[in-house]
């Protein structure tokens, strides 16, 4: 999550959706108001305690919008331009698979294929407390309150990120900063190449709420 107090925006960072690039482009606007110094000091002090976001100063990188809604003053939260980026769930799982293979290969010990990866990751018996990675969670959970109401103002799509980022900057009131391409997976092909009928069905079932809310299809 990235908050700007001067430019009044809040970015809800869903994993594997290009968020690292957006953070790099907008990080310079994070602070820059009269209380930046005290907030930075409090941020450093809060790292020695839990929860770190107790004052609304330091939210986890992939915090959901509801965390900010609950922790920040309501009027301030409502005044922010709140946005996120979502991604086709089938494509996102291929990205997740390659990320784990490259960054955390031990997590895939005994996992011989992409389909086996999905079977393990999306096994209902694992439970939410036993996440293989954060992309096991629904993207839709990042943008709604406890009643399922949408609480962000704009949902960008990874598939048209350049155009949507231009619109985000227009709404914030920024000249369009460069959007770097960071942490792109190498050695992968089109996501559809990875799926058997069984693997496709696993994603369809687990991410049904995302498919409905964001309008994605295979």
d(CA 93, CA 121): 10
Output the CATH code of domain 2-214: 3.40.50
Phi first, then psi: give them for residue 5, nearest 5 degrees: -85, -35
Residue stretches of the chain with pLDDT short of 50:
35-36, 51-56
pLDDT reported for residue 55: 47
pLDDT in tens, 120-150: 999 888 766 566 778 889 999 999 999 999 9
What global pTM score does this model have? 0.84
Residues 6+ apart with CB under 8 A from 192: 90, 218
pLDDT reported for residue 176: 76
For residues 25 and 165, the answer to whether their CB atoms sit within 8 Å is yes
Q: Which residues share a beta bridge with 9?
A: 4, 81
Q: How far is CA 58 from CA 132, 135, 207, in A?
A: 24, 21, 29
Q: Which residues share a beta bridge with 81?
A: 9
- In the chain, what are the domain boundaries? 2-214
């Amino acid at each position: 999550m990235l908050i700007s107090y001067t430019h009044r925006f809040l970015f809800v960072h869903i994993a594997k959706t290009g968020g690292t690039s957006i953070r790099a482009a907008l990080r310079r606007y994070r602070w820059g108001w009269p209380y930046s110094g005290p907030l930075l000091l409090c941020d450093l002090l809060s790292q020695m305690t839990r929860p770190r976001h107790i004052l609304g100063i330091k939210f986890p990188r992939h915090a959901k919008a509801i965390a900010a809604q609950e922790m920040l003053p309501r009027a301030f939260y409502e005044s922010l331009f709140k946005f996120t980026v979502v991604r086709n769930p089938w494509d996102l799982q291929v990205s997740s698979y390659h990320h784990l293979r490259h960054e955390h290969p031990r997590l895939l010990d005994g996992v011989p294929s992409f389909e086996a990866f999905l079977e393990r990751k999306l096994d209902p018996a694992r439970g939410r407390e036993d996440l293989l990675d954060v992309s096991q969670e629904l993207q839709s959970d990042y943008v709604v309150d406890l009643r399922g109401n949408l609480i962000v103002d704009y949902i960008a799509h990874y598939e048209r990120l350049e155009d949507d980022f231009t619109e985000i900057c227009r709404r914030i009131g920024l000249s369009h900063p460069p959007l770097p391409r960071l942490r792109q997976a190498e050695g992968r092909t089109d996501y559809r190449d990875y799926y058997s009928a069984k693997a496709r069905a696993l994603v369809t079932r687990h991410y049904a709420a995302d498919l409905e809310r964001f309008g994605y299809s295979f």
